[in-house]
Chains A and B, each alone.
Chain A
């Protein structure tokens, strides 16, 4: 039991971080970033190269992942989303653009890093064993704690920094924020960069545990969508709740249904549909439509 909860918390922290990035981009620009999973993979590969291959310290590699993805995110916002949003009449356009970007990143990742599963050396050795109730390697604990710290930092940043406040205003009401003098373009760009950066950081964190391969981008995006739907799109608290709920559900499901093959996600999806039938806006989302 304790083991299941501990696994759930560890997974949930990673998931929440992924969902935060996705929801931030959605809240600011009403764009569903299909390429989120690919950004995660890219972040994983940057850490793989710097920490695993060049042998530099893990922290350096993680920062490099963050910076690379922030830059990629900013460029994508400025040169791709911004012009398309300006010219298009329907929300499908940005969705298709996002899908095309996902394909593009997939192709780039495949060309640069190949199809193989890549792993890096453990960042910490040893295993915590608490009375055989919780058995967890130290590196997982470290990664879990790091993820929670980053979530906390993100919340504080959004709450108290000038940029964070501007982005919140923008998310709440684009037009009103514009009238109040918030530079929409600038903060959309920053928001997209931060969202992409979060995806990259999780990629960098998790490469030390599960490794990375070029094919997992899509499935990661799908999980992120589920979390956002559980919690409510565009809401920070919702993304965190959704992340932890999915992490916990996965952890419980893998234990309970281990005898029945991999039906966990089938059951999670069925529950999600029942849940959406009752509460279409998700846990924390605002009612709409």
Chain B
């Protein structure tokens, strides 16, 4: 292989020089994107009177929050097929607190995330030592176990689940209303859309920061070579747990809002197929790219939604397309980009 290590090594641009311009470009891009999804998209939807799109886009936003978590576990070198378990747990934590204990939804939201993070530490401690296929298997089993637990435990109300969850009330701090009561709004779908998209933007902003900070480099070093990371003094057990807890936190948040929108949660609300879809979202969007899971979720969800018109052939066509995609692009959508760059 042609290794031109000396000839052009020096001429490769040092990232420092042009970074200021690149950073400001990125900030402008991010702001434009935020303005687009928060202002322009609602205007378009209202103009076209396609209110159903609010629900679809809200779903995409929430699923991409959960997918971002899965992506982070990919980033430390673990194939995570257990995110649906945390989404389910998050949904139940919020629903139980709201319905059975009368807690405000706005308090249950962080609690759902934190409960998931706490559970993930107990689950992660033994299983994060596993790698590759082994970790994937355990997390997949965990998804199924979460569902069984929801069916079996008294606190989750068994198979009938929790229905009739009230809409989120107002969020007030010192008498100041930060978020109005969703019941008083004429269009709660719009409110959920704004909530979810804002959280999604926040989530991806944080994720971007994380990945581009030294913490992100440390996470990446785990993916590259755990043994070496450990021998240069990185506490790999701790770092793995932190990453996995963040991932599960995001899963819990996504699940909690989902439960609030659908005003119900059942043991089958998030199942094995969802876990696999979260993984597919990440893979489709590209594993080396922070915004990948957002793109992947968008494409996959809209693809699935669009195939709804094919009726009973929906799953058949969907899976055939996936198989074809794997045959043509076994290294993900992103490989098109890399391939294009080379030629």
Assess whether B123 is interfacial by the CB under 8 Å rule.
yes
- B163 interface hit (Cβ, 8 Å): no
| Cβ–Cβ contact B133 & A262, under 8 A | no
Judged by a CB distance under 8 angstroms, whether A54 is at the interface is no
Our count of residue pairs bridging A and B at CB distance below 8 angstroms stands at 137
Q: Is the CB of B323 within 8 A of A273?
A: no
Can you identify 20 A-B contacts, CB atoms within 8 angstroms?
Answer: A34-B276, A88-B331, A92-B79, A96-B322, A99-B279, A100-B319, A103-B315, A104-B319, A107-B315, A219-B144, A225-B137, A228-B137, A229-B137, A261-B158, A262-B152, A265-B145, A266-B152, A269-B145, A276-B126, A280-B130
Task: Decide if A32 touches B316 in the complex (CB within 8 Å).
Answer: no
Question: Does B136 have its Cβ within 8 Å of any Cβ on chain A?
Answer: yes
Q: Decide if B129 touches A277 in the complex (CB within 8 Å).
A: yes
Residues of chain A lying within 8 A (CB to CB) of residue B89: none
Q: Which 4 A-B pairs have the closest CB atoms?
A: A277-B126, A103-B319, A88-B330, A100-B322
| Given A32-B133, A83-B327, A84-B327: A110 in contact with B315 (beta carbons within 8 A) | yes
Interface positions of B (Cβ within 8 A of A): 79, 123, 125-127, 129-134, 136-138, 140-142, 144-145, 148-149, 151-154, 158, 271-273, 276, 279-280, 283, 287, 312-313, 315-316, 318-320, 322-323, 326-327, 330-331
What is the total number of residues of chain A having a CB less than 8 Å from a CB of chain B? 49
Q: How far is the CB of B67 from chain A (nearest CB, A)?
A: 14
How far in angstroms is the closest Cβ of chain A from B173?
A: 39
With contacts A261-B153, A266-B152 known, is A95 near B136, CB below 8 A?
yes
CA distance A91 to B81 in the complex (A): 14
Q: CA of A260 to CA of B320 in the docked complex: distance in angstroms?
A: 42
Closest to B149 in A: A266
Binding site for B on A (CB under 8 A): 26, 30, 32, 34, 80, 83-84, 87-93, 95-97, 99-101, 103-104, 106-108, 110-111, 218-219, 222, 225-226, 228-229, 233, 260-263, 265-266, 269, 272-274, 276-277, 280, 289
Q: Which residues of B contact A103 (CB under 8 A)?
A: 273, 315, 318-319, 322
Contact pick for B151, options A80, A92, A110, A262, CB 8 Å: A262
What residue in chain B is nearest A104 (Cβ atoms)?
Answer: B319
7 further A-B pairs in the complex, CB-CB below 8 A; given A96-B283, A100-B319: A80-B326, A90-B331, A99-B322, A262-B148, A263-B152, A265-B148, A276-B130
Measured between beta carbons, the chain B residues less than 8 angstroms from A226 are 141
Inter-chain contact B153/A218, CB cutoff 8 Å? no
B326: chain A residues within 8 A (beta carbon): 80, 84, 93, 96-97, 100
B136:A266 contact, CB within 8 angstroms: no
Q: What residues on B are CB-neighbors of A97 within 8 Å?
A: 323, 326, 330
Q: Decide: A32 near B149, CB < 8 A? Known: A84-B326, A219-B144, A277-B129.
A: no
